Structure 1
Amino acid sequence: MKKLAKEDINQDVFDLYDDYAHNKISRRQFVEKLSLYAIGGITVSSLLSFMTPNYIDTLLVKPDDERLDSKYITYSSPKGGGTIKGLLTKPEKTKTKLPGVIVVHENRGLNPYIEDVGRRVALDGFISLAPDALCPLGGYPGNDDDGRELQKKRDRNEMLEDFIAAFHFLSNHEHCDGNIGVVGFCFGGWIANMMAVHIPTLKASVPFYGGQPTAEEAAKIKTPLQLHYASLDTRVNEGWDAYQTVLKANNIEYAAHFYPEVNHGFHNNTTPRYDQEAATLAWDRTIAFFKEKLK
């Protein structure tokens, strides 16, 4: 069996995966359509395996990293899902209060990639909270396919309330100085945009390839935004022009970055959509933005 590399994959396969990951086609349809690209020694099973997230070999910060104090906590979300679990992480030796960052998952719950991102944030001098909006349904089930199915059963506005509640929990935490930002990916990018709509005291919002608010919602934003988009992500990008028009008209502080020739999910280093150069640049910008705004 041929060992696949990213350059072996037709862009149509990435687009198919995006449709599958965002519930536009079923797993059966995804597998059937992959058969069109099983040529030249490439099999359907090898394509499927290659596109599936690899959570074992991709962690950048181990769960037991001695530099960090990382543990699961619960908090109350009375307008959302009730009791929500999240991964709370801070630098291990820090005695002073720190600025906080909410880390918002994609459309599949608190998987190992998002937990890893929470630990990365903490290593840069923040206290991070990565909630799991699947808690009312039992939490992240251990794989993304089932996670997506579970998340489809929850109302996204109720999930938004879960992350707004996370903001208030972290704001009042003994190790947080009350200056809070948010970073979110895909579904989490929409949450990051919407938290900026609903929380005027939010200090910074960083949506990665996130869906945009309505014009009426966007006009309410007081929070500085740093937005990251993938140039090949036509599905999400089609909403950008209208969003930018509202941001400009209302003098809302924002910086938007488009990364050429990369796909939706380019920051997620567990799948072949990952682009190291774009992800590194976007993350450097994110951390610098938080260090500037969370004062």
Structure 2
Amino acid sequence: MTKRKTAAPVAIPAKAYELYDKYAHGMLNRRDFLTAIAGLAAGTATAATILGGLMPNYALAAQISFNDPDITARYQTFPAPEGHGEGRGYLVMPAKAEARLPVVLVIHENRGLNPYIEDVARRLAKAGFIAFAPDALWPLGGYPGNDDEGRQMQRSMDSQKIIADLKAATRWLKQLEAGSGKLGVVGFCFGGAMTGLLAAELPELVDAGVPFYGSPPPADKIANIKAPLLVQLGELDTRVNEMWPAAEALMTQHQVPYQMHRYPDSHHGFHNDSTARYNKETAELAWQRTIDFFRLHLS
């Protein structure tokens, strides 16, 4: 494992996390976001330090090197006839496998296949799974190298075609020659929402799902879910958390197997170790629960 880098502590006001969440999800434009951040600056917390702490630094997020000897990684295309025709993603496998392995689809946030998500795929391969992380931005050339542009690109795309591409990736992975036929899905933010959606719309394909701080599956499709779900939420993520009580009631009503964890002192994006939203203690606990959950349900 690559030695974990750490960033210097940054004093970030609580309001700044709320503003960043709105900006990252299209509820606040960049100019208004920067103006609001400037208004929070006080004492040693300048607008530049606040902004620097909120924006991702992907050099901090590499826990598993791309050339780790225990894994093999490559970019792989797949057919998506009902979507954009072709998709592409990051396929990572354990270097040595004596049998077919369970497969995990990794779905990124609302900005394309960034280095953090690629590292998540490597972490899964290091734990003994085949992992595949598709890039929704591939039809436009792929993740552009920065999140702001990536968000704009993803926002410009036909959401139904993105969903069709993700469904195509799911079908392709379910039949992967090296796979065992068992398929899990894990996603973050947008990817968390897509995890629940795929479980609801492809119940014959998804065997387990772990949505991290994503909106719940559509209410009228929750009854379709067969796969067990492990829902991972940050206690301070009120925007997403407010969506879940009604979904929980429906999952209970329809006997959907699920577990839910709300992690204390944790913001939206608490698992993303490239920003100040990262909460090391809860991220590591949530990730260990994810690995244990997949080992239980994909064995």
**How far did residue 96 of structure 1 move?**
1.8
2:129 corresponds to: 126
Structure 2 counterpart of 1:256, one-letter code: M
SS of match in other structure, 2:176: coil
CA displacement 1:236-277 (0-9 Å, x = unmatched) = 111111100110001110001111121000000000000011
SS of match in other structure, 1:282: helix
Q: Does 1:29 align with 2:29?
A: no
Question: Conserved in 2, the CA contact under 8 Å of 1:230 and 1:260?
Answer: yes
1:228 corresponds to: 232
Structure 1 counterpart of 2:149, one-letter code: D
Question: Conserved in 1, the CA contact under 8 Å of 2:12 and 2:45?
Answer: no
Counting only pairs closer than 5 Å after superposition, residues 227-266 of structure 1 correspond to structure 2 as 227-266=231-270
Q: Does 1:157 align with 2:197?
A: no
- 1:212 pairs, out of 207, 213, 216, with 216
Q: Does 1:97 align with 2:100?
A: yes
Question: Conserved in 2, the CA contact under 8 Å of 1:4 and 1:46?
Answer: no
Q: Which moved more, 1:269-278 or 1:52-61?
A: 52-61
Counterpart CA distance in 1 for 2:143 and 2:98 is 32
Counterpart CA distance in 2 for 1:102 and 1:275 is 24
Q: Does 1:187 align with 2:190?
A: yes
Question: CA 1:180 to 1:173, structure 2 compared with 1: closer, same or farther past 3 Å?
Answer: same
Q: Does 1:64 align with 2:64?
A: no
**How far did residue 168 of structure 1 move?**
1.3
Q: Does 1:283 align with 2:290?
A: no
Counterpart CA distance in 1 for 2:187 and 2:285 is 16
Question: Conserved in 1, the CA contact under 8 Å of 2:101 and 2:129?
Answer: yes
SS of match in other structure, 1:212: coil
Structure 2 counterpart of 1:116, one-letter code: D
Counterpart CA distance in 1 for 2:77 and 2:203 is 24
Q: What's the TM-score once normalised by structure 2's chain length? A: 0.95
Question: Conserved in 2, the CA contact under 8 Å of 1:86 and 1:129?
Answer: yes
Question: Conserved in 2, the CA contact under 8 Å of 1:103 and 1:183?
Answer: yes
**How far did residue 4 of structure 1 move?**
6.4
Question: Conserved in 1, the CA contact under 8 Å of 2:61 and 2:119?
Answer: no
SS of match in other structure, 1:110: coil
Question: Conserved in 2, the CA contact under 8 Å of 1:81 and 1:135?
Answer: no
Q: What's the TM-score once normalised by structure 1's chain length? A: 0.96
Structure 1 counterpart of 2:262, one-letter code: F
1:175 corresponds to: 178
2:84 corresponds to: 81
Q: Does 1:142 align with 2:145?
A: yes
Q: What stretches of structure 2 of length at least 5 have no aligned partner?
A: 1-6
Q: Does 1:11 align with 2:14?
A: yes
Question: Conserved in 2, the CA contact under 8 Å of 1:59 and 1:113?
Answer: yes
Question: Conserved in 2, the CA contact under 8 Å of 1:67 and 1:123?
Answer: yes
Counterpart CA distance in 2 for 1:179 and 1:4 is 41
**How far did residue 52 of structure 1 move?**
1.2
SS of match in other structure, 1:152: helix
SS of match in other structure, 1:63: coil
- 2:119 pairs, out of 116, 119, 127, with 116
Structure 2 counterpart of 1:281, one-letter code: L
Q: Which moved more, 1:158-167 or 1:67-76?
A: 158-167
**How far did residue 143 of structure 1 move?**
0.3
Structure 2 counterpart of 1:49, one-letter code: G
Q: Percent identity?
A: 45
CA displacement 1:88-145 (0-9 Å, x = unmatched) = 0111011421000000000000000000000001111110000001111111000000
**How far did residue 58 of structure 1 move?**
2.3
CA RMSD of aligned residues (A): 1.2
Q: What stretches of structure 1 of length at least 5 have no aligned partner?
A: none
Equivalenced residue count is 292
Structure 2 counterpart of 1:207, one-letter code: P
Question: Conserved in 2, the CA contact under 8 Å of 1:108 and 1:140?
Answer: yes
SS of match in other structure, 2:59: coil
SS of match in other structure, 2:60: coil
